[in-house]
Copies of this chain bind each other. A is one copy, B any other.
Amino acid sequence: MAVQKVLLGGQWVAADSSGTFTAENPRTGEALADSYPVSSWSDCDKALHAAREAFDHLRTMPRDQIAQFLEKYAELIEQRKDSICALAAEETALPVSPRLADVELPRTTNQLRQAAAACRNGSWALPTIDTKANIRSCLAAIGPVVVFGPNNFPLAFNGVSGGDFAAAVAAGCPVIAKSNSLHPGTTRLLAEAAHDAACATNMPAGTIQLLYRLDHADGERLVADRRIGATGYTGSRSAGLKLKAAADAAGKPIYLELSSVNPVVILPGALRERGAALADEFASSCLMGTGQFCTNPGLIVLVAGQATEDFVAAVGEKFAAAPVGTLLSRGGARSLAEAIEVLKTAGAAVVAGGEGGGGTGASYQNTWMRINGDEFLQRPHLLQTEAFGNASLCVVAGDIAEVKRILDQLEGNLTGCIYSHTQGEDDADYAAIEPHLRQHVGRLLNDKMPTGVAVSPAMNHGGPFPSTGHPGFTAVGIPASLRRFAMLQCYDNVRPSRLPELLLDDNPLGATRFVDGQARS
């Protein structure tokens, strides 16, 4: 069994490793063929050194060259689509079609191309010029960025091809990617394409680097190292909080996406008006991708009454009738079972499912639970435990006043949805509860489930802690996502020949800039 090489300083080299690991097929539980190294600190140190050298070159390289790299990379991913999707399906149990080949891969290449356009144009950096005082400023690359990718999007959020990667590179930062341990093969294929694209476009050697796994202590040391600029992390809350503590203590920005139960409120008028259709819509959103989406609706709040009882029963029937999907891993099935136990112990009653298994390989029954609002309010923290997968909890409030009290107890979430009567019968209730939801969520939706995250400049895939580490930033949506990997750089009385292109008087990049208080293109 071959041990795969890591990508360091522009070369695929044997890792300095303290051990190896293999991925497994979640459908069969069998180990896949290749073996991957757990890198020692020595590999991290080499990566940091090479990233720093690459950064020195990237800072002064034409933006167009970075954009060309991103576009070439997108092209190579498309050329290698079949092998990438086939291996991703083996490692994650996600279907090649439509999910990987028709949705996630095009999303990935689309993100890379949007990032290239943002990089070329420069408007993302909010260039600002005070001509009288001759003071100029813009956001600029913060330095090498470490990206830890999550388990649930092997392409579109992969550390070496996903949203954080695209944003960091487009901002001008080298990336040290840490593969998710569940899909190292997919990550290797992507990194090969990235490396080939980097060679074809003459990028500095350490621009794209890949490590497969690190000891926890080395991960914490990495995100706090003097040589890095920032970190992007999407994954479990427990691991993320340890990285956050290490990065915070060193004063290094870390952008985390940790966990979110994505509350949905259906107001009484909407339930009266279209309860059966909403039960369909809700159940489909809950079970899509076996519930393994960051924006999966894990918590729904309803007001007690017959329409609610009908809704709960209808969703229960749909959950029971729907096929049980294969989860991303046995570990994921274990975590889901543990979270459901926490919810049950805190008082949630199982309406459907509630037991392990039910599908092929790593699986857990589609699980639908309920609890009354007054009970929820006794243990609001435990009852917001994220059950990552095909499980959701319904909270039945006594009245709208109790809905408000429930919303007041919410932790920070990526999304929050309110469904209301189309002809205005819920408008007073909407106005009463909206302020109690708005500050707890990054994206507020009306009459729409949260599971679609459009790559739109207006998207916010972010939210208050603990859904992310800082509520001012988004991980999806270009150009805003680039701003995470930047520092504000001001030039005061600096001679024109020494200014970055973006701040020159004649605006050679054609960026939108704020000149003497006015936006100008």
B56 in contact with A469 (CB, 8 Å): no
A81 in contact (CB, < 8 A): no
Complex contacts, A434 vs chain B, CB 8 Å: 498
Residues 319-340 of A, flagged 1 when their CB comes within 8 A of B and 0 if not, give 0000000000000000000000
What are 18 A-B contacts with C-beta separation under 8 Å? A128-B457, A130-B457, A135-B458, A137-B459, A142-B471, A244-B248, A248-B248, A251-B465, A253-B471, A434-B498, A442-B488, A443-B491, A444-B490, A446-B495, A463-B487, A464-B487, A474-B488, A474-B490
A445 in contact (CB, < 8 A): yes
Within 8 A of B (CB), among A390-440: 412, 415, 430, 434-435, 438-439
Whole-angstrom distance between the Cβ of A481 and the nearest chain B Cβ? 11
Select which of B130, B472, B483, B487 is within 8 A of A486 by beta carbon: B472
Q: Which residue of B lies closest to A409 (CB)?
A: B226
Complex contacts, A249 vs chain B, CB 8 Å: 245
A508 in contact (CB, < 8 A): no
A517 in contact with B251 (CB, 8 Å): no
Task: Contacts A488-B471, A492-B445 given; indicate if A480 touches B128 (C-beta within 8 A).
Answer: yes
Chain A: interface residue total (CB-CB under 8 A): 74
B139 in contact with A472 (CB, 8 Å): yes
Whole-angstrom distance between the Cβ of A507 and the nearest chain B Cβ? 13
A457 in contact with B517 (CB, 8 Å): yes
Residues 249-287 of A, flagged 1 when their CB comes within 8 A of B and 0 if not, give 111110000000000000000000000000000000000
Complex contacts, A366 vs chain B, CB 8 Å: none
B471 in contact with A487 (CB, 8 Å): yes
Q: Which residue of B lies closest to A258 (CB)?
A: B251
A465 in contact with B135 (CB, 8 Å): no
Question: Roughly how many angstroms separate A250 CA and B244 CA in the complex, as a whole number?
Answer: 11
Whole-angstrom distance between the Cβ of A227 and the nearest chain B Cβ? 11
Residues 493-520 of A, flagged 1 when their CB comes within 8 A of B and 0 if not, give 1110010000000000000101001110
Question: Roughly how many angstroms separate A514 CA and B130 CA in the complex, as a whole number?
Answer: 21
Residues 340-373 of A, flagged 1 when their CB comes within 8 A of B and 0 if not, give 0000000000000000000000000000000000
User: What are the nearest 8 A-B pairs in CB distance?
Assistant: A251-B465, A460-B490, A471-B487, A443-B490, A248-B248, A130-B458, A135-B458, A130-B456
Q: Which residue of B lies closest to A253 (CB)?
A: B470
Complex contacts, A512 vs chain B, CB 8 Å: 519
Within 8 A of B (CB), among A176-215: none
Complex contacts, A495 vs chain B, CB 8 Å: 446
Complex contacts, A443 vs chain B, CB 8 Å: 137, 490-492
